[in-house]
Structure 1
Amino acid sequence: MKKLILLLILFAPFLGKSQDIEQFLLAGTEDASKLTEKYVNPVSKGFMYGLNNGWYSTARTHKKLGFDITLVANLAQVPSSDEVFQFVESDYSNITLVSGSSEIQTLMGGENNTTLAARIETDMGDFKLTNFTMPDGIGDDLPMNAVPSATLQVGIGIPGINSDLKVRYLPKVGSSDLEVGMFGIGLQKSLSKMLKIDKTPVDISALIAYTQLTAEYDIQEDSGLNGSGQMMEFKTNAYTFQAIASVNLKLIEFYGAVGYNTAKMDVDIKGSYELEYTLEGTNASVTETVVDPVSVDFDASGVRATLGTRLNLGFFKIFGDYTIQEYNTITGGIAFSFR
């Protein structure tokens, strides 16, 4: 079941690096949160932009009780500027650059050679020391260095209001170490009759949609740090508002849209973690336990414009589109649609 869920929503870019991200805790909770935010920022933003895609492949809405079942996959392309971040020592309280480049590869970047040193004052006025190396990125392992995402949704025509109700749903299921749940709802309202173009091949509609995805990943078994209750929690809320137009030429259909996205993701590292340091000026080791050490928020908002086409093979549809936004996104999918 775990592999099925990962395949369905393609959440692996976060999970595969959880053990590497743990070492950021050696920098102290405040600096660890800053490093985590900078390192995973492009994956979080790409994932949020992907969740706001794939709600439609036409401006036409269903007739009374018509419905569709649609499988969508997205690739949100990470700008080259977000593949790296600049390490500035003055931004941090406890860490300095020991060796390697101050231009650090993010999770969507390449290989890192940067080693950082942590020097943290204890309650007794001494300092505890340790070094750690920034983990490599995985951008080279992903197609087009893009963040993948996927979803399954159902749409149904609502009688009397020329609208489609669209629902995305995945009950919170999983294995012993991973649980994922998704819920999304959208309303696509046809404006064609109001604009008196309902007898033409042209359709116009408006969409408002919301998606929430939550995940809990138990990292205790693979953790490189002693402790208990170790897990990562993710919660994403994404909203999109769009105006859509399409031209139906029977076998083939062209569609486009303009709109606005806004989304937020919360990432929390929960549990207790035992951190080992060397006491400055001695060879003595000192251990500190931190609890629920990291909580970071990510935002992704902005205007968007989409162009796409759909092949209509009876009730079977194949579609693809390209969205211009902060993270340009390629979307493709298949649908079984009954008008």
Structure 2
Amino acid sequence: MKHFFLLLVLISGLSVTAQADINNLFAAGVDDAERFTNDYMAPLSEGMIYSISNGWYNSGETKPLGGFEISIIGNMASFKNKENKKSFDLNTAEYENIQFVDGSISKAVSSGLGDLEGIRVFVEGEVAPGVSSREEFELPTGLSSENINFVPSAFLQVSVGLIKGIELKARFLPKIDTDEVAVGFYGVGLQHELTSLLPAEKIWPVAVSGVIGYTHLNGTYDFTDTEIIAGENQKIDAKINSWNFQAIVSTKLPIINFYGGLGYITGNSKTDVLGTYIVKSGPFQQTIEDPFTLTKKVSGATANIGTKLKLGFFRLHADYTIAQFNSLSVGINFGFR
């Protein structure tokens, strides 16, 4: 069986086998499936937004006119110590049909980032006068059960110096398109060095600038042929957008430099569960078309600190960001000027 949200793992460059069966969720009815899936999915979407939002800069100093830098950047948004992101409280009073097998009314269950296993629920209902049907199944666990404690992203980024302390940035992930998965990733940003406008900018050993960056990710995962559930054209279509606003200060030294920033990230995700689903077991057997859409909005302050090593046209950088999901960003850079 594959993870219900395998798409977000695949677009992160991972292949994970998990324990969730979509058929089990729909056996509880569309409303219960949507409620559970929304709570289960939310932390994973949030982690992905923070992961793709970082890595926009490695210095407060912008490049001069014609200067450029090509970077390969990897981000890891960690949730290792985020216990509140790994689980959520499932209160059966808020559900129409799901009940815990052990008789509990409310308990913590795994989110898409968690590792709680062996939690069994059931749905029960009358299928004919005097005849009832009961279906038991285990709730899905999450990425921590596979010893994965971060949400990764990786991409190429190009920076080009323009006039008056302005630097244009663009990032992208080459499109991946297979029989099951299609992924597109791009972003654009601007950095403006404020110290370049001051008369003493060549004397001061620091650079101060501001950055605005927009990132968009679009991915689909077609699982019609995986035999998870009967039906056709079954796929998940996920769209993620994020904005990053940062104020940066850095040193201006020939070889090793240090930089830091304060800022704000805001983003949203929209995940459409599409296709025809035929529930063949339990008391709520039915055919469902394009069941639901899940949305998540995220915003929060960030702070980071990093260092950059420059050896001619070859550069390395690494920084750590403190936010709702703390992130590590590393990059290999090739540049001129």
The TM-score normalised by the length of structure 1 is 0.88
| Residue 297 of structure 1, aligned match among 292, 295, 298 | 295
Distance 1:296 1:123 in 2: 33
Per the alignment, residue 86 of structure 1 pairs with 89
What's the CA shift string for 1:206-235, capped at 9, x where partnerless? 011101100011111113211000111110
Aligned twin of 2:99: 96
Displacement after TM superposition at 1:294 (Å): 2.7
Is 1:116 aligned to residue 133 of structure 2? no
Tell me if the contact between 2:215 and 2:241 (Cα under 8 Å) persists in the aligned partners.
yes
Aligned to 2:76: 75
Q: 1:125 to 1:207 in 2, by over 3 A?
A: farther
Counterpart residue number, 2:308: 310
CA distance in 2, matches of 1:48, 1:109: 18
Residues 1:9 and 1:204: Cα distance change in structure 2 (over 3 Å)? farther
Looking at structure 1, the residues matched to 178 and 151 of structure 2 have their Cα atoms a distance apart, in angstroms, of 24
Cα distance, 1:133 vs structure 2: 0.8
Does the 8 Å CA contact 2:184/2:219 hold for their aligned counterparts? yes
- Structure 1 residues 105-147: Cα deviation after superposition (integer angstroms, max 9, x where no partner): 222211411111224678999976422211222214345x111
Q: Please list, as runs of the form range in 1=range in 2, the aligned pairs for 1:35-50 lying within 5 A after superposition.
A: 35-50=36-51
Aligned CA distance change for structure 1 residues 124 and 194 (closer, same or farther; 3 Å): farther
Cα pair distance change 1:233/1:7, threshold 3 Å: closer
In structure 1, give the amino acid aligned to 2:275.
G
- Who is 1:282 aligned against? none
Task: Tell me what 1:150 maps to.
Answer: 154
What's the offset of the Cα at 1:252?
Answer: 0.7
Contact 1:9/1:150, CA 8 A, preserved across alignment: no
Give structure 2 stretches of 5+ with no counterpart.
1-6
2:141 maps to amino acid? D
Counterpart in 2 of 1:334? Answer: 332
Given the alignment of the two structures, is residue 267 of structure 1 paired with residue 289 of structure 2, yes or no? Answer: no
Gaps (5+ residues) in structure 1? 280-285
**Counterparts of 1:40 and 1:226 in 2: how far apart (Å)?**
23
Residue in 2 that maps onto 1:33: 34
Q: State the AA in 2 paired with 1:74.
A: N
Instruction: Name the TM-score, length of structure 2 as normaliser.
Output: 0.88
Equivalent residue letter for 2:95: Y
CA distance in 2, matches of 1:64, 1:53: 25
What letter corresponds to residue 102 of structure 2 in structure 1?
Answer: S
**% identity of equivalent residues:** 35
Find the aligned partners of 1:122 and 1:211 in 2 and give their Cα distance: 49
Equivalent position amino acid for 2:153 in 1: S
Q: Does structure 2 retain, via aligned residues, the 8 Å contact 1:8–1:150?
A: no
Structure 2 residue matching 1:39: 3-state secondary structure: helix
Q: Secondary structure at the match of 1:117?
A: strand
RMSD: 2.7
Match of 1:130 in 2: 135
Query: Is residue 10 from structure 1 mapped to residue 12 from structure 2 by the alignment?
Result: yes
- Quickly say closer, same or farther: Cα 1:225–1:150, change in 2 above 3 A: same
Trace 1:173-188 onto structure 2 (pairs within 5 A): 173-188=176-191
**1:248 matched residue in structure 2:** 252
Instruction: Summarize the alignment of residues 171-210 of structure 1 with structure 2, pairs less than 5 Å apart.
Output: 172-199=175-202, 200-210=204-214
CA distance in 1, matches of 2:173, 2:245: 23
Residues 77, 327 of structure 1: 8 Å contact kept: yes
5 Å matches for 1:221-240? 221-240=225-244
Q: 1:6 to 1:106 in 2, by over 3 A?
A: closer
Secondary structure in structure 1 of the residue aligned to 2:252: strand
Tell me the matched-pair count.
326
Q: Out of 57-66 and 161-170, give the one that drifted further.
A: 161-170
CA distance in 2, matches of 1:277, 1:202: 66
The separation in 1 between residues aligned to 2:8 and 2:115, in whole angstroms, is 23
